[in-house]
Amino acid sequence: MTNPDHLDDSDSLAAVRKARELLHRARAVIFDFDGLLVDTEYAIYSSWERVFASCGHALPLDLFNQCLGSGYTHWNPGEHLEQLTGRTFDWEAVNGRRQEEIVRDLEHAGLLPGACELIRSLAEAGTPMGVASSSSHRWVDGWLNRLDIMSYFQTVVCRDDGLPVKPDPALFLKAAENLGMQPAECLVLEDSQNGTTAAHRAGMPVISIPNRVTEQADFSLATSKIRSLAELL
């Protein structure tokens, strides 16, 4: 049974008020990256969807959600496609083409609504901030520098720091440690089910903000769920 506090009524004023209270009480804020700060996940999903379609197979969003936030550790679309087709693929070539498509699709991408304003507001209030992502430093740091927001974050923790990816809580726990905070003092902002689960396991309150790729996921472990970072302003 879904806890009513963990809601499907993300558009309700009560959910927004609860999220703002969580933000007000937080001593530090830890952001996910993909799908929360920048809408990268739809481009990534679309690249995989085209690969599946070229083989005569669909890639339902609810299936793809299994890998979001976990860096393909817990479910790999490539392995799934090989099982469906009984074929092996030259994944170096396939992923090279996918990466080119992703870069093309994200050429003009920027921060999602409310992200810039929220980050600046927290910085002005002196609230320590970090990023914890199952993606690589090359990807995350590259985007943070490109968007000119890297300087706002006191720590960035990624999969190539040698830690287990989400839904394991390790990335969030390391970010809290780097910020000099106890887990319960940190508020996590997430867009994926795996990320929400990781924050919950870390003992951190978590606000889930689903996007067009993750909106079908299970967010029953979220402390609150809203539609946009802009609702926190």
CATH (domain of 119): 3.40.50.1000
Both 34 and 45 in one domain: the answer is: no
Q: Does 10 score more than 70 pLDDT? A: no
Residue 204 exposed, middle or buried by CB count within 10 Å (0-12, 13-18, 19+)? buried
pLDDT of residue 71: 67
pLDDT category of residue 5 using cuts at 50, 70 and 90: very low
Domain count, the chain: 2
What's the average model confidence in pLDDT over 32-46?
94
Q: Does 194 score more than 80 pLDDT? A: yes
Both 176 and 152 in one domain: the answer is: yes
Q: Does 205 score more than 80 pLDDT? A: yes
Q: Answer whether 59's CB lies under 8 Å from 52's CB.
A: yes
DSSP label at residue 106: T
Both 176 and 210 in one domain: the answer is: yes
Q: Which residues of 95-104 are buried (b: 16+ CB within 10 A; e: fewer)?
A: beebeebbee
- In Å, how far from its chain's centre is CA 162? 19
Q: How far apart are CA 10 and CA 145, in angstroms?
A: 31
Q: How far apart are CA 7 and CA 196, in angstroms?
A: 14
pLDDT of residue 3: 46
Domain that holds residue 148: 4-39+111-232
Q: Which residues are catalytic?
A: 32, 34
What's the average model confidence in pLDDT over 149-171?
97
What's the average model confidence in pLDDT over 184-213?
97
Last residue of a domain, one of 105, 123, 152: 105
pLDDT of residue 7: 44
DSSP label at residue 116: H
Report the phi/psi class of residue 118: left, alpha or beta, with left for phi > 0 and alpha for psi in -120 to 50: alpha
pLDDT of residue 2: 41
pTM of the model: 0.87
